Structure 1
Amino acid sequence: MKHLLLSGVAALGLVAASHAFAQTDDNMTKLQGMQSTGTSMDFKTIEQTGEYADQLRKNLESIELPSGFKIELYAVVPDARHIAVGPQGVATFVGTRKQNVWVVTDRDKNRVADEVKEFAPSIDFTIPNGVCFSKDGFLYIAEQNRVLVLPAAEFFYESPDVAVGVVVEKGKLVPTSEESFNHTARVCRIGPDDKLYISLGQPYNVPPPEKMDLYNREGIGGIIRMNRDGSGREVYATGVRNSVGMQFHPENGDLWFTDNQVDGMGDDIPPGELNRATEAGQNFGFPWYGGGNVRTNEYKDSEPPADAVMPEVEMVAHAADLGMDFYTGNSFPRKYRGGIFSAQHGSWNRTEPVGARVMFTPLNDDGTAGETEAFAEGWLAPSGEYIGRPVDVAMMKDGSLLVSDDLAGALYRISYEK
């Protein structure tokens, strides 16, 4: 009897799951046909006042910044990861490593968000970490194993239903055999060639040799690019362990990206990386190199590519360098203009934690990187406790800088007062 009961429950679970999947597929079909799904208008919203917001503001009193700068709480955003500021300045979209994309709105333009709510609740997302805009207003969302495009997201965000197109079908961004719980937070950018670029972290600390051919062919452990409709996919860069931040130089079009390096090699090696790709087809050395020119134990007897590109900047080991953006505004002092702001999430694989800060890297006249320095720090308390973990940075229309924090669940705004 017990066996029959359990079998019945399992069968009902399968039926319910099948029904849920069918509903999800049905919603996508309706949305692509510009039809209403009947999804409730009762949006999931996030409270922006109260004790939690007050405590986050108090925590920010510990953050150290250069003279003239200040940091404030912009929005409470659960699990906030990568940021896409709408080109019209109407709304900001925030990805997560869970199932939500959030839309953040400052309606009265007092530089503090008035509303944070779930975006497109009629769509079921899976790790929608990567959000990026085209200049003409198309929002791209790179999930664990799917890519969607949402035209006019800054218009449709008020509704539970949105215009949506499938750029890469579910299960086609990477082979389903390579779907993993590890290194699946994708990031995306639209390049100066109007193509869509997506980073594909590989699942391992160091991958076994038998995976190399597949990964090189698919662009896993690298960066791929494609036309904005998903056609013409190609591998742009290889030898990348797990990049979770990239941006194009606004003038020469070089693609700069961070890379998280091999764990388990000690506190001080290998270094984190800030890289520069100057053309398609470059190899950035992984898995032969664990970071910088530090060889991995697993591939120490294998000859690395002779033309492997070394990083422009070697960051402190295990700080977990993630999101980055070029500063193209004019509200910050001149020394910051044209340089790179990048977020260090903070280490887990280190006896003494490091990171949890925002870094700044100036660029030289020849396009190379200058000396990197800490810009905003203090989320790592003297006790070794994290009070926040920065993930991404993004410049707002007024030239201020947004910083996301997935530990505290927040967006912060850094501005400069002369």
Structure 2
Amino acid sequence: MAADTLNVQPFATGLDHPRWVHVLPNGDVLIAESNKQPRPPQGIRDIVAQKIMGIAGAGVPSANRITLLRDGDGDGVAELRSVFLDDLTSPFGMALIGSDFYVATTDALLRFPYETGTTRIDLPGEHIVALPANAPNMHWTKGLIAGADGQLFVSVGSNSDHGEAGMDAERNRAAIWIVDPAEKSARIYASGLRNPVGLDFEPTTGELWTVVNERDELGDDLVPDYLTSVRPGGFYGWPYVYYGDRLDPRVTGSAPDMVAQSLTPDYALGAHVAPLGLTFSDGARLGPAFAKGAFIGQHGSWNRRPASGYSVVYVPFESGRPNGRPIEILSNFRTADGKARGRPVGVAIAKDGALLVADDVGNTIWRVTIRDRSKPSLSLDTTNR
């Protein structure tokens, strides 16, 4: 169900666990149909991690492909569907710089040649840098965005909830990387971010922002997931502390220097809402109420009572900073008895200004537009899945 001033309709249905959305300059829409790679459990930690991932929707085999959707006649429904890239290893983030198309798979950043209008790439990808995928690879998604100077930013989640696997398992994880694709080199841009996923640049300041999934098992109301600007060299607390200076009682080992430099995130979204998708509203045509802020796809909690998330929210901004409470713009992804009929993930602004939302349980890309009062808005619970 969409907010009162908005309308929602399916842009494409029948996809295979669509996780991420990228809009090309010509209006073509790329969808990463992807999931965690299978792996036999190796001990109790893996069994618990796989149970958690299964509850969160990761039990579906990965299609390992990127699909291209095209709405050539402009009616708001994609009539062309083509396999753009396949045989990838859990692809997720995508970025285009000139004629170079980049994909962040779970274990590598790859580069492919791209020509405007092409519907399939058959050439093999060029390996740019390896990305951490050490077992059990708990947070497997790798977000990706291109900076104005041709560098790339990659989000890399932790390999545990609160460092219980040991910090050797977290080497170069729980961080955002900056990659120089020409030099094929990478370094840590910011760290202490348990599971950053979506990345975008705030249009008035040019600052990089991300949404972060925080730790579990501290109760239904802890710890708040968040939206934050990302400072170069910044440390955001994981695993030692959360939300600035709140110590995690489960984390052993003293790190007073790290605790002292921990930054407080900009904006709490609520506990266990699982924010994954992030896009600022620059280019959106959803009316003045949604013209200056950030859209966030909240995948939803896996064990919270009551459940939280399962929605797309809008956070208003003023002068480059969050300014006001989040506004729910797309909801009703759960049935009356608590079952998920859908779970939002990636969000992106289409070339025509619509908001596109990947739903990896409903296997649908939703298209949100400003409402035409002469037409009823579609209720998500009436959609034929």
> Under TM normalisation by the shorter chain, which class is it?
0.7 to 0.9
Of the three residues 250, 262, 272, the one matched with 1:298 is 250
Aligned to 1:286: 238
Give 3-state SS (helix, strand or coil) of 1:305's partner: helix
The 2-side partners of 1:153 and 1:386 are apart by 39
The yes-or-no answer on 1:85 pairing with 2:23 is yes
2:283 pairs with one of 329, 335, 343: 329
SS of 1:245's partner is strand
Q: Deviations over 1:169-193 (max 9, x none)?
A: xxx322x6x2434101111000123
Aligned position for 1:409: 363
Query: What residue number does 1:106 align with?
Result: 71
Is the 2:142–2:155 contact (alpha carbons within 8 Å) kept by the matching residues of 1? yes
- Structure 1 segment 12-411 matched on structure 2, within 5 A: 63=1, 65-76=2-13, 77-97=15-35, 98=62, 99-121=64-86, 124-134=87-97, 136-152=98-114, 154-158=116-120, 161-162=122-123, 164-168=125-129, 172-174=130-132, 178-208=134-164, 210-211=166-167, 215=170, 219-229=172-182, 231-277=184-230, 279-291=231-243, 294-299=246-251, 302=254, 303=256, 304-329=258-283, 331-365=285-319, 367-411=321-365
Which 4+ stretches in 1 moved above 6 angstroms?
none
Over the matched positions of the two proteins, sequence identity in percent amounts to 26
Q: What is the TM-score when the length of structure 1 is the normalising length? A: 0.76
RCO higher in structure (CA 8 A, sep ≥6): 2
Q: CA deviation at 1:107?
A: 2.5
Q: Any gaps of 5 or more consecutive residues in structure 2?
A: 36-61, 373-385
Q: Which amino acid aligns with 1:74?
A: F
Aligned partners of 1:154, 1:409: CA distance in 2, in Å? 27
Counterparts in 2 of 1:230 and 1:113: CA distance versus 1, 3 Å: farther
Q: Distance in 2 between matches of 1:117 and 1:257?
A: 30
Structure 1: distance between partners of 2:219 and 2:247: 13
Deviation at 1:109, TM superposition (A): 2.2
Distance 1:397 1:316, change over 3 A: same
CA contact (8 A) 1:94 1:103 kept: no
In 2, are the aligned partners of 1:326 and 1:340 still within 8 Å (CA)? yes
Q: Does the aligned pair in 2 maintain the 1:272–1:291 contact within 8 Å?
A: no
Tell me, in whole angstroms, the C-alpha distance in 2 between the residues paired with 1:240 and 1:84: 23
1:100 is aligned with what amino acid? Answer: R
Aligned to 1:38: none
Which structure is higher in strand share? Answer: 2
Question: Mean alpha-carbon deviation: is it higher for 150-159 or for 371-380?
Answer: 150-159
Aligned to 2:167, the other structure's residue is in SS state helix
- Contact 1:137 1:152 survives alignment (8 Å): yes
Structure 1 counterpart of 2:127, which letter?
A: V
Aligned to 1:53: none
CA distance in 2, matches of 1:305, 1:193: 32
* Cα distance between partner residues in 1 of 2:174 and 2:181: 21
CA offset at residue 394 of structure 1? 0.2
Task: Tell me the distance in 2 between the aligned counterparts of 1:290 and 1:109.
Answer: 46
- Cα deviations by residue, 1:9-29 (Å, 9 ceiling, x for unpaired): xxxxxxxxxxxxxxxxxxxxx
Match of 2:42 in 1: none
Query: In structure 2, do the counterparts of structure 1 residues 254 and 369 end up closer, same or farther at CA, with 3 Å as the change threshold?
Result: farther
Q: Hey, what's the Cα distance between the residues in 1 that align with 2:290 and 2:172?
A: 33
* Secondary structure at 1:335 match in 2: helix
The verdict on how the C-alpha distance between 1:253 and 1:204 changes in structure 2, with shifts beyond 3 A counting, is same
Question: Normalized per residue, which structure has more helix?
Answer: 1
1:269 and 1:317 in contact (8 A); partners too: yes
Query: In structure 2, how many angstroms separate the alpha carbons of the residues matched to 1:94 and 1:321?
Result: 17
**Structure number, greater radius of gyration:** 1
